[in-house]
């Protein structure tokens, strides 16, 4: 809560457009990372079509507002609902596989989504993408000016964090964690594994679409590249660095890695020379990510010593 209060004060102390732009992008991609985290972190399911659903949410908003003249406030929830329904349909097929086969299957679906977006020129603009997507308005508030969009992104992120926290502490969330440990054991406890998988898939893809809709109207342009597997792996990197399965991990990892990426933007793909060794070090020394490492240290400080030092016998 304190983090969100402090964040809300940021526009009052700075009008630096670049700083606010980075902050908004971090919040949007953090929402996307939370969507991936509810599947991988809670249910232990690696879904690699995540950026594809981000793109579906973004293109839905872009097409409806730009080509059909819809209000953003109608197009945005429709994009979220469409991603949830498509996530359900994907799950009905994909969950007939398990483990690596599931990950590979969803990776293929992600590639198909990108290809459809790239080739359907009449609807998506193809290689040219969608240009001129307008920022929303709400009464006299123009979200294309000043810090209004910053607060829209912050409020949306706050709602998402609250929702994910409630899911984590609910019976549904506990069932997902049990499912992650062992599907067979979860079944013996009376948990409908298939239904829980479908529900978490819908939640994950809906959050991806939620972030995508925000991204479309903030950037004002959409291209197929942002929907590809490479973007999914980037979000996965944010999650691994921050801490898979933790509540604060997606925010920490996204903020750190996105900011680092901005500093290394001028070197292009060579930035992966930095990201690669960093990821290896994280896996070796902090497999639970930064948030996990912090939690372990705090637990170690609060836990009493389990052993006592044996006094020197003088021998």
Query: How do the pLDDT tens digits run along the chain, 315 residues long?
Result: 677 788 888 887 877 888 899 999 999 999 999 999 999 999 999 999 999 999 999 999 999 999 999 999 999 999 999 999 999 999 999 998 888 899 999 999 999 999 999 999 999 998 888 999 999 999 888 898 778 999 999 999 999 999 999 999 999 999 999 888 888 888 888 889 999 999 999 999 999 999 999 999 999 999 988 999 989 999 999 999 999 999 999 999 999 999 888 888 777 667 777 777 877 887 777 778 888 777 666 666 665 554 444 444 333
Model pLDDT, residue 307: 42
Strand partners, 221: 131
DSSP secondary structure of the chain: -HHHHHHHHHHHH---HHHHHHHHHHHHHHHHHHHHHIIIIII----S-HHHHHHHHHHHHHHHHHTS---HHHHHHHHHHHHHHHHHHHHHHHTTS-THHHHHHHHHHHHHHHHHHHH-HHHH-GGG-EE-PPPPEETTEETTSTTHHHHHHHHHHHHHHHHHHHHHHSHHHHHHHHHHH-HHHHHHTT--HHHHHHHHHHHHHHHHHHHHHHHHHHHSEE-GGGGSHHHHHHHHHHHHHH-TT-SSHHHHHHHHHHHHHHHTGGGGGGGHHHHHHHHHHHHHH-TTHHHHHHHHHHHHHHSPPSS-PPPP---
Model pLDDT, residue 312: 45
Model pLDDT, residue 179: 87
Q: How far apart are CA 5 and CA 19, in angstroms?
A: 18
- On whether the CB atoms of residues 45 and 197 are closer than 8 A, the answer is yes
Prediction pTM value:
0.90
Model pLDDT, residue 53: 97
Q: How far is residue 23 from each of residues 16, 26, 65, 231, measured CA to CA in Å?
A: 11, 5, 25, 19
Burial profile 238-247: b = 16 or more Cβ within 10 angstroms, e = fewer: bbbbbbbbbb
Upper half-sphere CA count for residue 190 (Cβ side, 13 Å):
1
Model pLDDT, residue 261: 86
Handedness of CA 181, 45, 29, 148 (dihedral sign): negative
Q: How far apart are CA 54 and CA 209, in angstroms?
A: 5
Q: What are the structure tokens assigned to 65, written together?
A: 């507002």
């Amino acid at each position: 809560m304190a983090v969100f209060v402090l964040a809300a004060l940021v526009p009052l102390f700075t009008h630096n457009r670049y700083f606010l732009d980075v902050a908004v992008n971090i919040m949007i991609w953090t929402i996307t990372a939370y969507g991936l985290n509810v599947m991988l972190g809670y249910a232990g399911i690696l879904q690699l079509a995540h950026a594809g659903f981000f793109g579906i949410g973004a293109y839905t908003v872009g097409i409806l507002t730009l080509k059909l003249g819809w209000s953003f406030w109608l197009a945005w929830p429709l994009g979220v609902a469409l991603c949830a329904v498509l996530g359900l349909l994907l799950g009905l097929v994909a969950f007939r596989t398990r483990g690596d086969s599931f990950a590979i299957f969803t990776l293929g679906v992600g590639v198909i989504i990108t290809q459809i977006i790239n080739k359907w020129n009449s609807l998506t603009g193809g290689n040219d993408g969608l240009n001129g997507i307008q920022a929303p308005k709400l009464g006299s508030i123009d979200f294309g000016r000043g810090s209004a969009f910053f607060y829209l992104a912050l409020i949306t992120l706050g709602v998402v964090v609250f929702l994910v926290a409630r899911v984590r502490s609910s019976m549904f969330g506990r069932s997902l964690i049990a499912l992650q440990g062992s599907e067979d054991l979860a079944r013996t406890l009376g948990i409908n594994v298939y239904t829980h998988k479908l529900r978490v898939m819908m939640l994950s893809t809906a959050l991806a679409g939620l972030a995508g809709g925000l991204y479309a109207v903030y950037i004002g342009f959409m291209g197929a590249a942002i929907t590809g597997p490479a973007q999914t792996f980037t979000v996965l990197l944010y999650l691994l660095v921050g801490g898979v399965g933790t509540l604060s991990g997606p925010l920490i990892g996204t903020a750190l890695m996105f900011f680092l990426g901005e500093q290394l933007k001028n070197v292009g793909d060579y930035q992966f020379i930095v990201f690669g060794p960093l990821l290896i070090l994280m896996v070796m020394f902090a497999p639970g990510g930064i948030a996990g490492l912090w939690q372990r240290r705090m637990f170690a400080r609060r836990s009493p010593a389990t052993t006592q030092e044996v006094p020197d016998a003088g021998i």
